[in-house]
Amino acid sequence: MNQEIAAWKKKLPMWLTFSRMAVCPFFIPLIRIGEPWANWTAAFLFIAASITDYFDGSLARKYNAISNMGKFMDPIADKVLVATVLIMLVPSGRVGPELVLLLLCRDIIIGGIRSVAAADNVIIDAKAAGKWKTAMQMIAIPLILVSWDLAGIPFTHLGELLLWISVILSIFSGYQYVRLYFENRKSV
């Protein structure tokens, strides 16, 4: 019985990571519907999925379940979650295509760099700027989804501002990844 519990605990972080991707198809109809109840449901679902980003890493450390698979899949799950919602928000005009394009291009480039780095036996873990970028996106997106006002300030505007801050952090962290790859490659 103890071995079964230990095995379950070791799998839990990856299940949480994969759950972020598994919820993505639900955003398509919810955001298309565009009704307040659907927006709030999408925001709640997005927040719940975002919370798993904290728990997968902390549980992996707690249960000694850190793996290269987890190191690679965690940021991919974040990107799939964020990209799904942002792309679905473009047709309604709640998010501009330029913002989404900048974020997606950076993520594709960094994915390529991380793949090349892995082929060269160089693992580049997420850095602070990249984590802040993700945090900004995970706060901004629910604000945009609910389209509510607080003290006369539309959540949508606050969310858009946070997304543009995430673009700046994204570009900076992209530079860090490229620089770290070339610095670490020289020493291999």
Task: Please tell me the predicted confidence (pLDDT) of residue 115.
Answer: 82
Q: Does the pLDDT at position 185 exceed 90?
A: no
Range of weakest confidence among 42-51, 146-155, 162-171: 146-155
Coil vs helix vs strand at 93: coil
Nearest to 16 by CA among 63, 47, 49: 49
What is the band of 5 on the pLDDT scale with cuts at 50, 70, 90?
A: low
Task: Please tell me the predicted confidence (pLDDT) of residue 84.
Answer: 97
What is the band of 186 on the pLDDT scale with cuts at 50, 70, 90?
A: low
Q: Does the pLDDT at position 188 exceed 60?
A: no
Nearest to 75 by CA among 133, 119, 116, 118: 133
Nearest to 144 by CA among 27, 26, 61: 27
DSSP state of 188: -
Q: For all residues of the chain together, what is the average pLDDT? A: 88
The dotted CATH code for 2-183 is 1.20.120.1760
Distance CA 66, CA 64 (A): 6
Coil vs helix vs strand at 170: helix
Distance CA 181, CA 77 (A): 22
For the beta carbon of residue 133, count every other beta carbon within 10 angstroms.
Answer: 28
Coil vs helix vs strand at 169: helix
Distance CA 5, CA 136 (A): 35
Distance CA 49, CA 162 (A): 19
What is the band of 32 on the pLDDT scale with cuts at 50, 70, 90?
A: very high
For residues 125 and 114, the answer to whether their CB atoms sit within 8 Å is no
State the amino acid at position 151 in one-letter form.
Answer: A
Q: What proportions of the chain, in percent to the nearest 5, are helix, strand and coil?
A: 80, 0, 15
- Ordered by start, the domain boundaries in the chain are 2-183
Sequential DSSP letters for 14-68: HHHHHHHHHTHHHHHHHHHH--HHHHHHHHHHHHHHHHHHHHHHHHHHHTT---H
pLDDT one-digit tens code per residue, 14-24: 899 999 999 99
